[in-house]
Amino acid sequence: MSTAPGTLRTPQQVADRRAGSPHTSMFWRMLLRAAALRRGRAASALLAMVVAAAVATAMMNLYVDVQAKLRTEFRNYGANVVVVAKNGKSLPADAVSTIEAALGPKTMAVPFSYAVARTSDGQSVVVVGTDFARAHQLDHWWNVSRWPSGPGEALIGVRAAAVVSSKREPFDLTFQGKTIHLAPAGLLQTGAGEDSRIYLDQSEFQNWTGLTPTTIEVAANGSSDEIQQAMKSLAAALPAADVRPVRQIVEGEANVLNKTRATLYASATLVVLTSALCVLATLIGWVLDRRRDFAIMKALGATERLVNGFFAAEAAALGVAGAILGFFVGIGVAAWIGRANFHAPVVPRFSVFPYVLAGSVAVALISAIVPIGLLRRVQPAIILRGE
């Protein structure tokens, strides 16, 4: 209680102070004075409100943003769509730029062309032409000792290296009578089929074999619906190609993402409910605590409607103030969680503000109405007598 005995003023002092203050309506004055005089209680109620709104905001922000954040993580698994030339046809030369134009700037598309060449001692080996800069970005898991940088340099799978160039010396490959001389730039290790292949720059590969890319691996961003849509637009843009999802990647991602989202949803619901409970407990205590104000107002002749309106307005004001303050605190918390966990800030979503505001005001009103309903049945005289 802020009106501890020591701070009581004489009636004269109070009258002097009141004379200086502007004459607002009684209703507003009661609202303001109630907040100002019982600072401690009002502050603790507001604090509960702010914390609840902040937690709710942070949870909603995270729930929306985490899916996008996790999708970016999942793109490290590589391509989720492959574009393959239909039998006997080849992809148009500008296929990669067509794909990137069709799907937007965040899409990564890497062309691959394949040929079987012979080594100088007659062994067959698969040679692949690709765009190294793009492959480097798409296939994060490739363990490469050094990426090729100049002409005549090739990236060699660890198992292919044992066959063509076990001592890292330059070697010759033959394809349909044409020979190319290559220097090994680095070794490639993936644990999959890539280990048995030799990778060349696409233009060099094309000069040597005359073959154009037959496969383009595409990493499309977005939800599964967006990817379905992207595949449709790709199929329309490239009639000479089959557009297929990489089911292993697409379904694995959907699976993990759905489980995470469901867990987060359950947790967020629990957290929001708990903080609503906290607000409810604090506010009910606050209103019950003021049953004497309530009784005095009624004893002085206030109508039921005025009293209800007064407490409701007070609760609503608390809810609004708490929601606004809490919203900004919550955005800060969400941004911090994003930075701490995903090394990228969570983008503030102002679209959740109406929900936070509505929720806060609703909880505040409920916690005002419940005790008022209890008090209404009691005679003011009984409350004022202290019973």
Using CB under 8 A as the binding rule, the residues of this chain from 21 to 80 that contact another protein are 44, 48, 51-52, 55, 58-59, 62, 66, 69-70, 73-74, 76-78
Q: Which is nearer to another protein, 39 or 140 (CB)?
A: 140
Q: Which is nearer to another protein, 69 or 349 (CB)?
A: 69
- 55 and 271 in contact (C-beta within 8 Å)? yes
In this structure, the number of other CB atoms found within 10 A of the CB of residue 203 comes to: 11
Sign of the C-alpha dihedral computed for residues 348, 350, 351 and 356 taken in this order: positive
* Six-digit token string for 171: 């070697």
Interaction with another protein in 239-278: which residues (CB under 8 A)? 244-252, 255-256, 259-260, 262-264, 266-268, 270-271, 273-275, 277-278
User: CB 25 → another protein: shortest distance, Å?
Assistant: 28
User: CB 275 → another protein: shortest distance, Å?
Assistant: 4
Q: Which is nearer to another protein, 5 or 22 (CB)?
A: 5
Interaction with another protein in 126-155: which residues (CB under 8 A)? 126, 139-143
User: CB 76 → another protein: shortest distance, Å?
Assistant: 5
Pairing type for strands 143-144 and 124-130 reads unpaired
Q: Which is nearer to another protein, 5 or 239 (CB)?
A: 5
Q: Which of 13, 123, 137, 149 binds another protein (CB under 8 A)?
A: 123
User: CB 24 → another protein: shortest distance, Å?
Assistant: 27
User: CB 305 → another protein: shortest distance, Å?
Assistant: 28
Q: Which is nearer to another protein, 70 or 306 (CB)?
A: 70
User: CB 323 → another protein: shortest distance, Å?
Assistant: 16
User: CB 280 → another protein: shortest distance, Å?
Assistant: 9
Q: Applying CB under 8 A, what is the total number of residues that bind another protein?
A: 81
Q: Which is nearer to another protein, 16 or 339 (CB)?
A: 339
Residue 187 CA to residue 93 CA, distance in Å, equals: 29
Contacts of 282 (CB under 8 A, 6+ apart): 44, 45, 48, 367
Interaction with another protein in 167-226: which residues (CB under 8 A)? 189-193, 195-196, 214-215
Q: Alpha helix locations (H) across the chain?
A: 11-20, 26-37, 39-74, 95-103, 132-138, 158-164, 202-209, 224-237, 247-289, 291-299, 304-342, 353-376, 380-384
Instruction: Write the DSSP string, 175-236.
Output: ETTEEEEEEEEEEEE-SSGGGGEEEEEHHHHHHHH-PPP-EEEEE--S-HHHHHHHHHHHHH
Q: Would you give the binding string for another protein spanning residues 343-382, x where CB under 8 A is met? A: ----------------------------------------
Q: Would you give the binding string for another protein spanning residues 275-294, x where CB under 8 A is met? A: x-xx--xx-xx--xx--x--
Q: Which residues pair with 179 in a beta bridge?
A: 174
Q: Which is nearer to another protein, 179 or 263 (CB)?
A: 263
Q: Rounded to 5 degrees, what angle do the CA atoms 185, 191, 193 make?
A: 80
Contacts of 116 (CB under 8 A, 6+ apart): 124, 125, 126, 127, 175
Contacts of 134 (CB under 8 A, 6+ apart): 108, 109, 110, 111
Residue type, 155: L
Instruction: Write the DSSP string, 62-98.
Output: HHHHHHHHHHHHHGGG--SEEEEEPTT----TTHHHH
Q: Which is nearer to another protein, 26 or 266 (CB)?
A: 266
Q: Which is nearer to another protein, 254 or 306 (CB)?
A: 254
User: CB 365 → another protein: shortest distance, Å?
Assistant: 18
Residue 189 CA to residue 159 CA, distance in Å, equals: 9
User: CB 87 → another protein: shortest distance, Å?
Assistant: 9
Pairing type for strands 215-219 and 81-85 reads antiparallel
Q: Which is nearer to another protein, 27 or 141 (CB)?
A: 141
Residue type, 356: V
User: CB 77 → another protein: shortest distance, Å?
Assistant: 5
Q: Which of 342, 365, 366, 378 binds another protein (CB under 8 A)?
A: 342
